[in-house]
């Protein structure tokens, strides 16, 4: 076959596969936002069917011929072909039966997890979780071909990263984080927390305004409510969800800003890559770097919280926090808590380390599901100095394992590390950023990220896109420097 | 291959295909209710991709072998195999390229139609419509294999019915309908119309109550708002939409009851048929018989409107209609109007006849798209005695042609005819129905329909399921008798 025909056939095939991946993703969005509860069983079959279709396409034997013959003319073409090759190689290792079984089981187990969490009933969830772990171990082993099954799963979310590299990253973060945490908990300053009740409608209005401020394009997206906020879709249909608790408006606002970070990455990829293998975010770590920098380095900055305080006063009246400094401290209050998604920037990565060690042990067969609850609780007590009081505050808190996302958690920490690097670099490029953010204008920063990171989609490898954007090799230092400076100031260390 | 293996393979394949059809259908629901407007182009590609998958499955060469070898042991199995054979035969006649092209073009043309309708701009819609007609003609010719392309399209929606049979049905309806219309318009009694403003929230509350009264299972469905109400999905995920205009609550209420009729048919099929070829409604005509009998023979009956009047007074206060008799007459007011979906029971089938003749001529190449507007307006004036004042009241009013639904309209009239038959039969079986409906209880009637029609899904052929339910051959007489009696009483004829 002529080389250009091979490339054309490859790209046409990939385009349809990408479109079908969008369809499958939207079924997930539907399930979490609008699906009638009685549809769960049927939905499992639907997801399994589309997963079967995707698996068949990714293992299509014609791909091998096209891949052998295709000669892409440029970097983008080479990146496309590399993505297709990777997807083909991985899919061929996983039997179709296993891929469909995982889709079916995880679709159902998500509902069972939600119910078990609501009931604080670990025992009710264990049989399902054991089934999921068994299937994901099997998948990891099939993918690894004799190598480490956990590495093979992690590679799905963070191409090129191994468990050993993740462990090294945590080693580079842990000592200074633990020391900072100790100094903060020993400090005499204790910032006041927000208190009072904040109406749902006003929260959602301000949440939409925040989405707009951070560049979310509503004409190509929408915001709904979900138990566990997420972003879904790529290109011209990128939807986010948020949640509302009347006692805690920061949860709503920062969930929204966080998901807008993810969504902006998908919305801002070069339109020429639409519905192609490089038309979305390149890895979960880079994805999380965008959500984290939007949420934390920008959204929780002293400059931006000053603007947010004024908007909250307009929306809710006075609420007992007198100064911008006190508000900034309340937004960034450090406190050991059970829940990862509510964790402050200092504790967050400690939550991830716990999950990383446990899930890696689960997949490698060094920990059994029946021992997970005890292992979680022991580790939590050791790291956080507090005993888990109920399973929904412990091993039942996260959706991830129920839907088979093993190897996903480390990408959150990697995203934090990358966000630290990007923040250091963009601050150097944008000396007047604080003055703009104090006026509610974050567009210089989001524009920098769009130009340096987001528009490239999957053109470069994950570490490469971050390194190119920053002008230096990604490392833990910038994040740790930022955290020590920010929380040192807040806590007077 | 052993016969049982062939049947097993056939059914496993069909089950996945049916699940994927549900996925494709839900994309349509999403597009009409929640999709961001900027996603239209991408959605076209997604729909084309899944249509390509479905087409490939329906034309899978293994089906021919399995179909040859399968020996189903019972009626249900034979019905399953017959459905699969039919789908395979039809799909093989349509090239994959054409099927995907139709999916892509109709996904986009729907948005263009909506815009053209809003702007009353026929010219803006004509190029797209011409493209759709060209593709559907091509599909009809491919399906017909030398026969009539319109018959081949109609057969998609009403298996076994031909254009000639539809024409004969209209001939059997038209004289008595036209005569009845003439007597009503010449009558001295003129029922008052509803006037005033009816709050959106209260309408939607009562609309949900009506859905429950008519047996809609919210645990396996949901109600949203759409421009053009519809029902979508099968089995355990059957969603409906309605619409709200503050000046016209009947529009909301009767749209809801109508769509609940469709949804109940899908929700009440024998659960043993879930996600199989006979797990949904057997034809559009039988489907429409359910929506029509729910809406008209039950929902607009004197007995039920008495209950509805009381509920409306509780929800909206007094609104200027003094007696149950006046309310019943207002609900059933006969008036020549432009809009099919707002037409009374006497005019409705005249709207269908107009569309049937025009669309049949379009597909047979006897009418060109450029002449459609003039042809519509001339025919409307002749049949309704009123000149169409703007395109949105004329040829731009319906979504159907924009999405390629040629051959669909006659099934509405057939549904009316079947509803007349079913109503005659269920009244004979349920002598105390009016007393129950006057108390807001329609369950005897909906239960009768569930048992006699809905639970069978695709087990019997369309005419057969109606004939079995009624105990007589379907014909126009019962509908015409019902209309003459009902409107004779209201108008004192």
Over the stretch A221-232, which tens digit does the pLDDT of each residue have? 999 999 889 999
B12 part of contact set with chain A, CB < 8 Å: no
B42 part of contact set with chain A, CB < 8 Å: yes
Closest CA in chain B for residue A217: B38
Q: Which residues of A418-445 are buried (b: 16+ CB within 10 A; e: fewer)?
A: bbbbbbbbbbeeeeebeebbbebbbebb
CB contact under 8 A, B39 and A220: yes
Q: How confident is the model at residue B315 (pLDDT cuts 50, 70, 90)?
A: very high
Marked catalytic residue, from B21, B51, B259, B295: B259
pLDDT of residue B227: 81
User: Which one of A24, A32, A45 would you mutate to disrupt binding with B, by most B Cβ within 10 Å of its Cβ?
Assistant: A45
C-alpha pair distances (Å), A294 with each of A213, A304, A428, A431: 11, 11, 17, 18
Closest CA in chain B for residue A24: B23
Contact A8, B41 (CB under 8 A): no
Q: How confident is the model at residue A317 (pLDDT cuts 50, 70, 90)?
A: very high
Closest CA in chain B for residue A237: B39
Answer with the residue of higher pLDDT: B40 or B479.
B479
Residue range A324-339: mean pLDDT, rounded: 96
CA dist B348 and B356 (Å) reads 13
What average pLDDT does the structure give for chain A? 96
CA dist A361 and A374 (Å) reads 14
Residue B130 to chain A, least CA–CA distance (Å): 26
Answer whether residue B1 shows pLDDT above 60.
no
A219 part of contact set with chain B, CB < 8 Å: yes
Cα-based torsion angle of the residue sequence B392, B397, B401, B405 in order, rounded to the nearest 10 degrees: 170
Query: Considering CB atoms only, which of B20, B30, B221 is closest to A26?
Result: B30
Answer whether residue B454 shows pLDDT above 80.
yes
Query: Considering CB atoms only, which of A15, A38, A236 is closest to B220?
Result: A38
Residue B232 to chain A, least CA–CA distance (Å): 13
Answer whether residue B96 shows pLDDT above 90.
no
Residues of B within 8 A of A36 (CB-CB) are 218-222, 236-237, 239
CB contact under 8 A, A237 and B35: yes
Burial of B439 (0-12, 13-18, 19+ CB in 10 A): exposed
Question: Active-site residues of A: which are they?
Answer: 259
CB contact under 8 A, A36 and B235: no
CB contact under 8 A, B218 and A36: yes
B409-429 vs B284-292: helix crossing angle, rounded to 10 = 50
Residues of A within 8 A of B35 (CB-CB) are 237
The region of weakest confidence among A238-247, B3-12, B325-334 is B3-12
pLDDT of residue A96: 87
pLDDT of residue A475: 97
Residues of B within 8 A of A28 (CB-CB) are none
Which DSSP category does A294 fall into?
A: I
A96 part of contact set with chain B, CB < 8 Å: no
B15 part of contact set with chain A, CB < 8 Å: yes
pLDDT of residue A1: 58
CB contact under 8 A, B49 and A20: yes
A89 part of contact set with chain B, CB < 8 Å: no
The region of weakest confidence among A52-61, A211-220, B96-105, B262-271 is B96-105
Question: What does the block give as tokens for B129?
Answer: 């419509």
Residue with tokens 């480390």: A410
Residue range B264-290: mean pLDDT, rounded: 98
Closest CA in chain A for residue B40: A236
Three-class DSSP labels, chain B: CCHHHHHHHHHHHHHHHHHHHHHHHHHHHHHHHCCCHHHHHHHHHHHHHHHHHHHHHHCCCHHHHHHHHCCCCCHHHHHHHHHHHHHHHHHHHCCHHHHHHHHHHHHHHHHHHHHHHHHCCHHHHHHHHHHHHHHHHHHHHHHHCCCCHHHHHHHHHCCCCCHHHHHHHHHHHHHHHHHHHHHHHCCCCCCCCCCCCCCHHHHHHHHHHHHHHCCCCHHHCCEEECCCCCEECCCCCCEEEECCCCCCHHHHHHHHHHHHHHHHHHHCCCHHHCCCCCCCCCCHHHHHHHHHHHHHHHCCCHHHHHHHHHHHHHHHCCCCCCCHHHHHHHHCCCCCCCCHHHCCHHHHHHHHHHHHHHHHHHHCCCCCHHHHHHHHHHHHHHHHCCCCCCHHHCCCCCCHHHHCCCCCHHHHHHHHHHHHHHHHHHHHHCCCHHHHHHCCCCHHHHHHHHHHCHHHCCCCCHHHHHHHHHCCCCCCHHHHHHHHHHHHHHHCC
Answer whether residue B3 shows pLDDT above 70.
no
B45-91 tens-digit pLDDT:
999 999 999 999 999 999 999 999 999 999 999 999 999 999 999 99
B383 part of contact set with chain A, CB < 8 Å: no
Closest CA in chain B for residue A236: B39
Residues of A within 8 A of B45 (CB-CB) are 15, 19, 275
Residue A44 to chain B, least CA–CA distance (Å): 10
User: Which one of B17, B21, B24, B46 would you mutate to disrupt binding with A, by most A Cβ within 10 Å of its Cβ?
Assistant: B46
Q: Give the CA angle between residues B277, B280, B282 to the nearest 5°.
A: 90
SS3 A245: coil
pLDDT of residue B356: 98
SS3 A158: coil
Query: Considering CB atoms only, which of B34, B43, B275 is closest to A45?
Result: B275
A93 part of contact set with chain B, CB < 8 Å: no
A27 part of contact set with chain B, CB < 8 Å: yes
CB contact under 8 A, A42 and B274: yes
Give the helix/strand (H/E) hosting A225: strand A223-225
A55 part of contact set with chain B, CB < 8 Å: no
B25 part of contact set with chain A, CB < 8 Å: no
CA dist A149 and A134 (Å) reads 12
pLDDT of residue A107: 83
What residues contact residue B255 under an 8 Å CB cut-off, 6+ apart? B229, B242, B243, B341
What residues contact residue B330 under an 8 Å CB cut-off, 6+ apart? B191, B192, B193, B194, B321
CA dist A60 and A79 (Å) reads 20
A137-185 tens-digit pLDDT:
999 999 999 999 999 999 999 999 999 999 999 999 999 999 999 999 9
Residue B164 to chain A, least CA–CA distance (Å): 39
Q: How confident is the model at residue A2 (pLDDT cuts 50, 70, 90)?
A: low
Chain A residues 264-283 within an 8 A CB cutoff of chain B = 274-275
Q: Give the CA angle between residues A475, A476, A479 to the nearest 5°.
A: 120
CA dist A343 and A354 (Å) reads 14
Looking only at the bridges linking them, the beta strands covering A223-225 and A239-242 are parallel
Q: Is B365 left (phi over 0), alpha (psi -120 to 50) or beta?
A: left
Residues of A within 8 A of B41 (CB-CB) are 236
Closest CA in chain B for residue A46: B19
Answer whether residue B398 shows pLDDT above 90.
yes
pLDDT of residue A3: 66
pLDDT of residue A445: 98
CA dist A133 and A128 (Å) reads 9
- Tell me whether residue B259 is one of the annotated catalytic residues: yes
**Residue (of A204, A207, A240, A203) closest to A221 by Cα position:** A240
User: Which one of A42, A48, A62, A217 would you mutate to disrupt binding with B, by most B Cβ within 10 Å of its Cβ?
Assistant: A42
Residue with tokens 């990939």: A14
CA dist A270 and A454 (Å) reads 8
CB contact under 8 A, B23 and A23: yes
CB contact under 8 A, A27 and B26: yes
Residue range A35-50: mean pLDDT, rounded: 93
CB contact under 8 A, B20 and A53: yes
A101-119 tens-digit pLDDT:
998 899 889 889 999 999 9
Closest CA in chain A for residue B275: A42
Question: What does the block give as tokens for B181?
Answer: 């219309």
What residues contact residue B288 under an 8 Å CB cut-off, 6+ apart? B262, B411, B412, B414, B415, B416, B418, B419
Closest CA in chain B for residue A37: B219
B96 part of contact set with chain A, CB < 8 Å: no
Size of interface A-B (CB pairs under 8 A): 102
CB contact under 8 A, B36 and A237: yes
CB contact under 8 A, B45 and A15: yes
Contact B377, B394 (CB under 8 A): yes
pTM (2 decimals)? 0.93
B23 part of contact set with chain A, CB < 8 Å: yes
CB contact under 8 A, B42 and A22: yes
The backbone torsions φ and ψ at residue B18, rounded to the nearest 5 degrees and listed phi first, read: -65, -40
What share of chain B in percent tops pLDDT 70? 99
Complete edge-to-edge strand list for the sheet that includes strand B223-225: B223-225, B239-242, B231-232
Answer whether residue B417 shows pLDDT above 70.
yes
CB contact under 8 A, B42 and A50: no
CB contact under 8 A, A221 and B37: no
């Amino acid at each position: 076959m002529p080389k250009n025909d091979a490339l054309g056939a490859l790209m046409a095939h990939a385009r349809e596969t990408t479109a079908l991946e969008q369809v499958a993703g939207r079924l997930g969005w539907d399930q979490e936002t609008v699906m009638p509860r009685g549809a769960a069983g049927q939905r499992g079959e639907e997801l399994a069917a589309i997963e079967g279709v995707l698996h068949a396409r990714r293992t299509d034997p014609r791909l091998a011929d096209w891949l052998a013959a295709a000669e892409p003319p440029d970097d983008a073409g080479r990146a496309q072909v590399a993505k297709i090759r990777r997807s083909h190689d991985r899919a061929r290792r996983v039997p179709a039966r296993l891929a469909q079984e995982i889709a079916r089981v995880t679709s159902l187990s998500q509902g069972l997890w939600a119910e078990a969490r609501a009931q604080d009933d670990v025992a009710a969830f264990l049989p399902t979780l054991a089934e999921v772990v068994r299937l994901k171990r099997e998948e990891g082993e099939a993918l690894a071909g004799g190598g480490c099954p956990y590495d093979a799963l992690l590679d799905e979310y963070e191409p090129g990263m191994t468990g050993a590299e993740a462990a090294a990253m945590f080693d580079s973060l842990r000592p200074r984080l633990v020391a900072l945490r100790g100094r903060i908990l020993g400090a005499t300053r204790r910032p006041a927390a927000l208190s009072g009740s904040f109406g749902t409608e006003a929260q959602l209005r301000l949440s939409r305004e925040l989405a707009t401020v951070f560049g979310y394009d509503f004409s190509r997206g929408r915001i709904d409510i979900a138990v566990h906020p997420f972003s879904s879709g790529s290109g011209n249909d990128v939807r986010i969800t948020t949640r509302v608790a009347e006692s805690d408006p920061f949860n709503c606002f920062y969930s929204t800003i966080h998901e807008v970070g993810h969504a902006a990455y998908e919305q801002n990829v070069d339109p020429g890559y639409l519905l192609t293998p490089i038309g979305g975010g390149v890895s979960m770590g880079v994805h999380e770097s965008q959500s984290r920098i939007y949420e934390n380095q920008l959204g929780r900055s002293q400059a931006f919280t000053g603007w947010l305080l004024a908007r909250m006063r307009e929306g809710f009246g006075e609420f007992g926090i007198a100064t911008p400094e006190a508000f900034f401290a309340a937004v960034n209050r450090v406190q050991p808590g059970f829940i990862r998604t509510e964790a402050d920037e200092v504790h967050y990565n400690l939550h991830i380390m716990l999950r990383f060690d446990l899930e890696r042990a689960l997949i490698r067969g060094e920990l059994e599901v029946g021992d997970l609850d005890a292992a979680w609780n022991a580790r939590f007590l050791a790291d956080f100095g507090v005993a888990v009081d109920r399973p929904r505050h412990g091993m039942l808190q996260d959706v991830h394992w129920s839907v088979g996302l093993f190897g996903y958690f480390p990408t959150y920490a990697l995203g934090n590390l990358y966000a630290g690097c990007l923040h250091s670099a963009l601050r150097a490029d944008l000396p007047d950023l604080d003055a703009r953010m104090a006026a509610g204008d974050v567009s210089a920063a989001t524009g920098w990220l769009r130009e340096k990171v987001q528009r490239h989609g999957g053109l470069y490898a994950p570490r490469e896109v971050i390194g190119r954007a920053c002008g230096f090799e990604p490392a833990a230092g910038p994040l740790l420097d930022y955290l020590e400076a920010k929380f040192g100031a807040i806590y007077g260390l």
